[in-house]
Chains A and B, each alone.
Chain A
Amino acid sequence: MSENILSIKDLVIHYETQEEVVEAVNKINLDLNKGEILGLVGETGAGKTTTALGIMGLLPPKVGHVIQGNIFLEGEDLLKKSQREMRSIRGKKISMIFQDPMTALNPVKTVGDQIAEVIRLHERCSKAEALKKAQDMLAMVGIVPERYKEYPHQFSGGMKQRIVIAIALACEPELLIADEPTTALDVTIQAQILDMMRKLQKDKGTSMILITHDLGVVAEMCDHCAVMYGGEIVEYGTVEQIFDNPKHPYTKALYRSIPSLDQDVERLHVIPGMVSDPSNLPTYCTFYDRCEECNEECGKHDPWIVDIEPGHWAKCFRYTPEWSGTPVADPADTKGEGK
């Protein structure tokens, strides 16, 4: 019954420079239901931020290209919009919170003006009305509204992030993309910010994409979780499915490599090797070189998406019926059987 707000189909994003082509995002498919929080997890270079920038239409000009695919926001393809149309969508329908609040704010404008700026851009209202609304926004994120006349340097890190959130939410967007919103903050401040984001999400029904590398944050905040590796989503499911029953070898290895608070482990598990170079991705499984559960077939073909249980899939040959030592069939064969 839940409605899709965002739907990404076969999205491919490349960064092209004179020397090389970096395949940052490779054919990802993703759906986000209204009012839900989706966690996007992965290590540096997995393509999380590129995906977000792609949705926002903010890929670096000249270098970043969407090669193929569609991004539907409430049924409308964002990739077909002109720059001008995108400008009216950004801030109004989709907002983004960036990782580092210290650099996301303009140091020479008061925070009240910075919040009012977004409101004035998207809504017909007077300057005074916009400022009034800016003060309401400050109050909403827990900052004394009278401080709207102050400059960013007068606020602490946690408060700056609140201001960034206030700007992002000023026009009540339907979709909020938060790119590592708490990574630069201390845990106690992180707890405050996450608590506030959850409250806002409940009150306003905003849908969210939360990009993070912290599995703890995902467990606490999200409804669904997508694990990214080498520009692909390698596993997708509800947080319960992903945390209780991780299937993709990368997800499993990731769990074992983080020190746990409830269990004592002598040595941490190490994922052998390194993240594959996105300018030179293999034609077979991107995780093959580091995988501990593969067979030689994995080194020949690119795995396809395998359903594990309703709503939970992994991009791994292990879960195909053909697995169990016997060679895996050619993907071309099974695709013909209509999926």
Chain B
Amino acid sequence: MAENLLEVRNLKKYFSTPRGMLHAVDNVTFNIEKGKTIGVVGESGCGKSTLGKTLMRLHQPTSGEVMFKGTDIANLDLKEFKKKYRSNIQMIFQDPYASLDPRMSVLQLISEPIKVNNKNLSKQEVEKKAKEMMELVGLAKRLEMAYPHELDGGRRQRIGVARALSLNPDFIVCDEPVSALDVSIQAQILNLLQDLQKDRGLTYMFITHDMSVVKHISDDIAVMYLGQMIEKCPAKEIFKNTIHPYSQALLSAIPIPNVHHKQERMILKGELTSPIDPKPCCRFAARCPYATDKCLAEEPVLRELKPGHSVACHFAEKFVK
């Protein structure tokens, strides 16, 4: 049995707003195996990025536990977390146009995290390490002194990858790393991430709204809806045997680049309901074509239907093929 690198238990992150508590991440429980990739999918506003940032302690969790190598990092003192664990858990951000300081050169950008986290290294050592990182992610030596605006999106995202990797992390949260990139560049970055995972045994949490990307890169897929995880299963399974009605709708909404593929499309009515002080019912009930009174009265919990495949739906059995 493979060991879990990260065990998330009942993690909650609420934001207080003038209209009430916003349940951005609500009672999420899952494990990530070492060396594997978990893909987190869902529409905008479903709490995917908040989940990633809460794991990184960029947001402070409201309650719950995150066990990382036997320590509960969610309830650790923030200072201690930064000292001991920040370099173990890193993040790659969505927009390589916005996440890099325009006044720093490539070498400076990559040196920065190394310098901050290894105060005892000499300037030469930091530079040497940064140059190694550049080579690792495939940035040419001549770009050392280039500034972000001189580079295309793919190269900028390589800087983001290099910055995250420079601290030898075990776990990387990739928050929509390829969404802002063109398809041909997207392929380069996805390949790079996969190669690095193979070589260094990295564990990824890959946040995206692009189902074809997530299927390509993930071992497990978790579908989120309004702060809750509603389905989790192996990546291959979700495309063959989708159970939750929302996952079914999400999958059927993807346009397939094949002219002979005629699919029955399940078009959802309406949009996401408000995540502020949600009522204790199934959060998808308002848009679900199969909703019954039970769905409006009772909140379904995530339960394991078959080994490795969990669903939060009262009538999940009905949808098993």
Residues in chain A within 8 A of chain B (CB atoms): 43-44, 156-159, 186-192, 194-195, 213-220, 239-240, 243-244, 253-255, 257-262, 264-265, 267-271, 274-275
Contact A188 B250 (CB under 8 A): yes
Interchain nearest-CB distance for A32 vs B (Å): 19
Which A residues touch B200, using CB under 8 A?
none
Contact A195 B254 (CB under 8 A): no
Interchain nearest-CB distance for A44 vs B (Å): 5
Instruction: Give the CA-CA distance A157 to B211 in the complex, in Å.
Output: 20
Contact A158 B259 (CB under 8 A): no
Which B residues touch A220, using CB under 8 A?
255-256
Closest residue of A by beta carbon distance from B154: A274
Contact A268 B257 (CB under 8 A): no
Instruction: Give the CA-CA distance A334 to B251 in the complex, in Å.
Output: 50
Contact A216 B254 (CB under 8 A): yes
**With contact pairs A259-B216, A261-B211, A261-B212 given, residues A189 and B271 touching in the complex (Cβ less than 8 Å):** yes
Which B residues touch A217, using CB under 8 A?
255
Which B residues touch A243, using CB under 8 A?
257-259
Contact B43 A186 (CB under 8 A): yes
Does any Cβ of A come within 8 Å of B253's Cβ? yes
Contact B191 A187 (CB under 8 A): no
Contact A213 B182 (CB under 8 A): yes
B263-284 contacts to A (CB < 8 Å): 265, 267-268, 271-272
Interchain nearest-CB distance for A232 vs B (Å): 17
Interchain nearest-CB distance for A243 vs B (Å): 5
Which B residues touch A189, using CB under 8 A?
43, 271
Contact A258 B183 (CB under 8 A): yes
Contact B253 A254 (CB under 8 A): no
Interchain nearest-CB distance for B52 vs A (Å): 18
Instruction: Give the CA-CA distance A218 to B183 in the complex, in Å.
Output: 15
Q: Other CB < 8 Å A-B pairs besides A159-B271, A219-B259, A261-B254, 15 of them?
A: A43-B183, A44-B153, A186-B44, A186-B209, A187-B209, A192-B267, A213-B183, A216-B254, A243-B258, A254-B184, A259-B216, A261-B211, A264-B236, A268-B216, A270-B184
Closest residue of A by beta carbon distance from B253: A191
19 chain-A/chain-B pairs, Cβ below 8 angstroms: A43-B183, A44-B153, A157-B44, A159-B271, A188-B268, A190-B255, A191-B253, A191-B268, A213-B183, A254-B184, A255-B257, A259-B212, A260-B216, A261-B254, A262-B256, A268-B191, A268-B216, A269-B187, A270-B191
Interchain nearest-CB distance for A161 vs B (Å): 12
Contact B257 A216 (CB under 8 A): yes
Does any Cβ of A come within 8 Å of B62's Cβ? no
Interchain nearest-CB distance for B187 vs A (Å): 4
Which A residues touch B182, using CB under 8 A?
43-44, 213, 275
Which B residues touch A190, using CB under 8 A?
253, 255
Contact A257 B271 (CB under 8 A): no
B178-197 near A? 1/0 per residue, CB < 8 Å: 00001110111011001000
**With contact pairs A265-B216, A267-B191, A271-B184 given, residues A240 and B44 touching in the complex (Cβ less than 8 Å):** no
Instruction: Give the CA-CA distance A219 to B216 in the complex, in Å.
Output: 21
Closest residue of B by beta carbon distance from A157: B44
Contact A192 B209 (CB under 8 A): no
Which B residues touch A159, using CB under 8 A?
271
Which A residues touch B211, using CB under 8 A?
187, 261
Does any Cβ of A come within 8 Å of B213's Cβ? yes
Does any Cβ of A come within 8 Å of B303's Cβ? no
Contact A187 B250 (CB under 8 A): yes
Does any Cβ of A come within 8 Å of B152's Cβ? yes
B208-241 contacts to A (CB < 8 Å): 209, 211-213, 215-217, 236, 239
Does any Cβ of A come within 8 Å of B19's Cβ? no
Leading 3 A-B pairs by shortest Cβ distance = A216-B255, A259-B216, A215-B257
Does any Cβ of A come within 8 Å of B261's Cβ? yes
Which B residues touch A253, using CB under 8 A?
184
Interchain nearest-CB distance for B317 vs A (Å): 25
Which B residues touch A271, using CB under 8 A?
184, 187
Which A residues touch B152, using CB under 8 A?
274-275
Contact B265 A240 (CB under 8 A): no
Contact A187 B259 (CB under 8 A): no
